[in-house]
Amino acid sequence: MGEEPDCRFIISFAGVGEADYARIGGKCASLARMIAAGIRVPEGFAVTTEAYSLHLQAPGLAEIVRSTLSSIDVDNVADEERKSADIRTAITSRAMPTVVEQAVRSAYRAMSPGDDLPVAVRSSATAEDLLDASFAGQQDTYLWVVGADEVVDKVRACWASLFNARAISYRAKRLAGPADVLMSVAVQKMVDAAAAGVAMTLDPINGDRTKIVIDSAFGLGEPVVSGDITPDNFVVEKVLLEITRRRIAEKDHELVADRAARRTIDRVIEPERRTQPSLSDQDIIAVARLAKLLEKCMGGPQDVEWAIDRDLPAGGNLVALQSRPETVWSRQARQAPQKTYATGIEGVLGTLLSPLKVKQ
């Protein structure tokens, strides 16, 4: 048995308490709440905002970040791109503080004694998953990361992605202090998904809360949430849990794991499988039940990421990857009437999650 990771910098999802939420950002807090509610969630841990703050104490780094941020013209795309790249380089070029690196390595080693467990390394900013605005998808996520060295590298890259040009611009329009957002990072066991996607506990076209709308595709769910493919679409009546509409898309590629190469690959789907539904009726109802339960647990309409784990037995292979408040219709319900835009689920999810940069 190895030593316990430093609790200042590492908290397991299963060990998170409500008092820890402010230290682990919206994504990690949501994962912890789901686990506490008995939802099946892949194991993992949060790298706390204290770790990020300590990294910023490297000589001269905080001043570089502050001064470069203050000089950015957010209305000048070229200036924003150039200076945001300067900030990210400054962050990733600094070595991670030794105590933080030791804690991350220890936590990963506890999950993967053989140093070979694939994990997803995902940003979890303190401004994510707010009721008034979703900041999700503004920072980077990394899939099929294998080995402690790579985990350490990708944690640092997630910190830097807080200063992507799109993230800087997004925060500048919605927060008074764009430099005040802190970054936690989720390190979570990777799911080898047979199918995956998103479920919303209302109809994104008209806000109808009697419906659950599901988008799904073969393989990992990132192409669905990023809008890279046209997914299958299913509508389920929420109370009776009956499928009321289905639209099966022609799916010509899927994002899958290449275990030998320790990465994900975009694989062409064989012609005979392209027009097959990515979910069985049983799976559709299971996803709807999960989304309905999460809406009840979280206290409002949800935008749920889920996956069918091919490594788990049928009937127990549906896992929740993320649940965040739905913001478009929920925000309108709290505000005075205003002009709305009727878009399909792809458009709404694009607003919430895109562009989601997946790096290998």
pLDDT for the residue 334: 52
pLDDT for the residue 108: 98
pLDDT 10s digits, 109-120: 999 999 999 999
C-alpha to C-alpha distance for 70 and 146, rounded to whole angstroms: 37
3-state secondary structure of 194: strand
- Kindly list the domain boundaries of the chain, sorted by start residue: 10-189, 193-355
Classify strands 141-146 and 358-359 as parallel, antiparallel or unpaired: parallel
Contacts of 70 (CB under 8 A, 6+ apart): none
Exposed, middle or buried: residue 138 (CB in 10 Å: 0-12, 13-18, 19+)? Answer: buried
pLDDT at position 152 over 90: yes
Give yes or no for a contact between 27 and 48, defined as CB atoms under 8 angstroms apart.
no
DSSP-assigned beta bridge partners for residue 320: 306
Exposed, middle or buried: residue 77 (CB in 10 Å: 0-12, 13-18, 19+)? Answer: exposed
pLDDT 10s digits, 187-205: 999 999 999 999 999 999 9
Question: Which among 181, 187, 189 has a CA at the least distance from the CA of 52?
Answer: 181
Give yes or no for a contact between 136 and 30, defined as CB atoms under 8 angstroms apart.
no
pLDDT for the residue 353: 36
pLDDT for the residue 203: 96
- What mean pLDDT comes out for the span 221-250? 96
In this structure, how many other beta carbons lie within 10 angstroms of the beta carbon of residue 122? 26
Q: Where are the alpha helices (DSSP H) in the chain?
A: 21-36, 49-55, 61-71, 77-92, 98-111, 148-161, 165-174, 222-225, 281-298, 328-334, 345-353
Between 344 and 118, residue with greater pLDDT: 118
Q: How is residue 107 written in tokens?
A: 């936590």
Classify domain 193-355 at the CATH superfamily level: ATP-grasp fold, B domain (3.30.470.20)
Contacts of 218 (CB under 8 A, 6+ apart): 194, 195, 251, 254, 269, 273, 278
The pLDDT confidence band at residue 166, using thresholds 50, 70 and 90, is: confident
Entry pTM: 0.84
3-state secondary structure of 358: strand
pLDDT at position 287 over 90: yes
Phi, psi of 289 (to 5 degrees): -60, -45
Q: Tell me, what DSSP letter sits at residue 180?
A: G
C-alpha to C-alpha distance for 343 and 349, rounded to whole angstroms: 10
Name the residue type at position 343: T
- What mean pLDDT comes out for the span 296-315? 94
pLDDT 10s digits, 261-283: 889 999 999 999 999 999 999 99
Task: Establish whether domains 10-189 and 193-355 are of one fold.
Answer: no
C-alpha to C-alpha distance for 95 and 352, rounded to whole angstroms: 32
Find out if CATH 3.30.1490.20 is the number for domain 10-189: yes
For residue 4, CA distances in Å to 108, 118, 350 come to 11, 21, 40
C-alpha to C-alpha distance for 217 and 343, rounded to whole angstroms: 20
Q: Which of 295-304, 311-320, 323-332 has the lowest mean pLDDT?
A: 323-332
Give yes or no for a contact between 55 and 98, defined as CB atoms under 8 angstroms apart.
no
Phi, psi of 358 (to 5 degrees): -105, 120
